[in-house]
Structure 1
Amino acid sequence: MEDKNQPMSDENLDHTVEIDLSSTVLDLTSFQLHDLNSVELPPSLTELDLTTNRLSILDPRLSHLSNLKKLSLRQNLFDDAGVEPISHWDALSGLEELILRDNKLTKIPDVSIFKGLLIFDVSFNEITSLNGLSKVSNTLRELYVSKNEVPKIEEIDHFCDLQILELGSNRLRVMENLENLINLQELWLGRNRIKVVNLCGLNCIKKISLQSNRLTSMKGFEECVALEELYLSHNGISKMEGLSKLVNLRVLDVSSNKLTSIDDIQDLNRLEDLWLNDNQIESLESIAEAVAGSRETLATIYLGNNPCSKSSNYSAVLKEIFPKIQQIDSDLFA
């Protein structure tokens, strides 16, 4: 039986793709198209998804889609020259979402024409600088530049309405120039080279990831009282500190560090997920006191690959401490 979800084979690429000319949404994901010659582009389109094709040049007919709000060119073969024409297409100025993820870009493209842009994604490219972001509309809500070669956070001062900033897997060494992001809710900086936490005075963030960096201290989160999720795994942290005021914290991941004890979370009464695996915690004796505030809320705990996890009554002790526990390491309970 033919699998309708499979991409079109090369022998089908020359056949015209049947399109309803009154459509507002066109999804051509995984059609393996080299160009759009076989595709009708209805002028009524508001969303066009060209994810996972073999496109390297923008079809000039796109310049007439004046109703377009969302355009995804994810996972194609576009280089800087290939996407350059879009910066001149006035009819597309109402675009709100532009996805250029997973292509061959080496710089931030000029998208200044889009005065109401809300989502901009250039992750998984070969971008070496954030130069060019200063031209991006200050209406932006979500910015994704992960998995590139960016060494410095810059040209983001005007994004006062930004809610999500993703700069993971780059070459960043310093947290800086975040002061004006007063509405930021999520900050993703995993897999960089950051040694010191500096949130530049921001205190309304709800999610922060600094996994796989070079941190040796937890200090720097004390004023983030709205914080709900904190991810700090795979660093060099030896002490849990600066957490006692984070009363809204639900998820705390400090796995794969150098911790020898559990500290500074005894007053957190909303904690649901606690990841402490792959540390150097010796004993379970003081754990009940250490997590006193979350004994009734904790649903998941990871303590595997600590010396304490080798004790014969490991799971039984944890179940007794946490009456509502649903998961201990990889073991799930009904």
Structure 2
Amino acid sequence: METGEKTLEQQPPQNDDASVVVTALDLTSYQLHDLDSVELPSSLTELDLTANRLSKLDQRISLLTQLKKLSLRQNLFDDSGVEPLCHWDNLSGLEELILRDNKLANIPDVSIFKSLFVFDVSFNEISSASGLSKLCNKLKELYVSKNEITKIEEIEHLHELQILELGSNKLRVMENLETLVNLQELWLGRNRIKTVNLCGLQCIKKLSLQSNRLTCMKGFEECVALEELYLSHNGISKMEGLSGLVNLRVLDVSSNKLTSIDDIEKLTRLEDLWLNDNQIASLESMAEKVSGSREKLTTLYLEHNPCAKSPSYTATLREIFPNIQQIDSQVFA
């Protein structure tokens, strides 16, 4: 039994006091095959059915006219199982719909949800972004990670989008992002992308391209709002295009092919720097290369580089960075 999983003997909560208005019902991990034994008060605004055995929707959900958040995460829903949602007009005010970790093969038609802010279909078996065009243009967070999608498309109308998660798919090209002018977080790790193309976007604060096929760092130069940049597990051989990223706080270029530290001396806000598992030979001139962030840097990973074999490795780094709190796995009080 997984930690936190409720036993079959445990009954879902019931509302015995008629005077109490129930607005949220959490049925996480009850291993329910259906909701026959569950009362669904008409006052519900949140219904969480995460980690059950559901494959069909209870018709009574369609009567919850005040529902704002619905989570069907980690169940057994396939396309036909969630299809009734597309016709339940009483739920048109839904703001958050979570279908993560099911058996969906397609993006469901959620066009009736005109106030949807959060939509999550990650960890399914979806092979195409077809259907995303029907999402309401008020959407702020879209999660489609861990599927089989090969192309970024049908998202041009999502002008209010702030978070886009497309990690662990089969994407090869960064495209069709131009109109996402409010996008602040873009997660594209574990794809097959070779070239950075942010399509002119300059407002992104968090960007992940971990575990792709990048060989250079060009393409970030105009992203002056960037605060966190994750590029580990690629084939990058040179640090470049970073000097203008004056707001950068976290930089992860671990597990690449770097032989030196470059182009970050002007970054005065850098707090976390991950350079482990590269080919950096020496700590010589380190102080100069990181001059802008010497006082600010608190976390540094350099292990599994030739320079980490130096007997004075830790002492040298602590001398360079007076406020360092962690070097590799070693934490300082």
TM-score of the superposed pair, with normalisation by structure 1: 0.97
Change (3 A) 1:36 1:318: same
Q: Distance in 2 between matches of 1:143 and 1:234?
A: 25
**2:157 is matched with which residue?**
158
Pair 1:298 & 2:297 matched: yes
1:282-315 CA-partner distances (Å, limit 9, x unpaired):
0001111100000000000000000000000000
Q: Is the 8 A contact 1:256 1:279 kept in 2?
A: yes
> Could you say which residue in structure 1 is the equivalent of 2:242?
243
Q: How many residues align?
A: 328
Task: Please tell me whether the aligned partners of residues 197 and 219 of structure 1 are also in contact (alpha carbons under 8 angstroms).
Answer: yes
Residue 266 of structure 2 is matched in structure 1 by: 267
Alignment-derived partner of residue 310 in structure 2: 311
| 2:29 counterpart SS class | coil
Report the residue type matching 1:91 in the other structure. N
Residue of structure 2 in register with 1:142 after alignment? 141
1:215 aligns with 2:206: no
Compute the displacement of 1:165 (Å).
0.1
Aligned to 1:255: 254
Q: In the aligned structure 1, how far is the partner of 2:251 from the partner of 2:126?
A: 31
- Supply the AA of the counterpart residue of 2:92: S
Pick closer, same or farther for the CA change 1:29–1:16 going to 2, 3 Å.
closer
Q: One-letter code of the match for 1:18?
A: Q
> Which residue in 1 is equivalent to 2:187?
188
Per-residue CA deviation, residues 107-166 of structure 1 (Å, 9 max, x unaligned), is 100100100100000000000000000011000000000000000000000000000000
1:74 aligns with 2:70: no
In structure 2, C-alpha distance between the alignment counterparts of 1:245 and 1:219, rounded to whole Å: 12
Which residue of the other structure, out of 14, 18, 22, is the alignment partner of 1:18?
A: 14
Which residue in 1 is equivalent to 2:169?
170
- C-alpha distance in 2 between matches for 1:143 and 1:91: 23
C-alpha displacement at 1:19, in angstroms? 2.9
Tell me, in whole angstroms, the C-alpha distance in 1 between the residues paired with 2:189 and 2:271. 22
Shift of 1:18: 1.6
- Measured in 2, the distance between the counterparts of 1:304 and 1:19 equals 56
Structure 1: distance between partners of 2:168 and 2:134: 23
Q: Which residue of 1 aligns with 2:31?
A: 32
Secondary structure of the equivalent of 1:81? Answer: helix
Q: CA deviation at 1:8?
A: 2.5
Structural RMSD (CA):
1.1
Aligned to 1:114: 113
Amino acid at match of 1:83: V
Match of 1:203 in 2: 202
Q: 8 Å contact 2:12–2:27 — kept in the other structure?
A: no
- Unpaired segments ≥5 residues, structure 2: none
Partners of 1:249 and 1:321 in 2: CA distance:
20
In percent, how many aligned pairs have the same letter? 77
SS state at 2:180 partner: coil
- Work out whether residues 17 and 38 of structure 1, in 8 Å CA contact, stay in contact via their aligned partners in 2: no
Alignment of 1:74-113 (within 5 A): 74-113=73-112
Residue 240 of structure 2 aligns with an amino acid whose one-letter code is: E
Q: TM-score, normalised by structure 2?
A: 0.97
Q: CA deviation at 1:16?
A: 6.5
Structure 1 regions of 5+ residues with no counterpart? none
Secondary structure at 1:230 match in 2: strand
Give the letter for the 1:19 counterpart: N
- The answer to whether structure 1 residue 58 and structure 2 residue 25 are counterparts is no
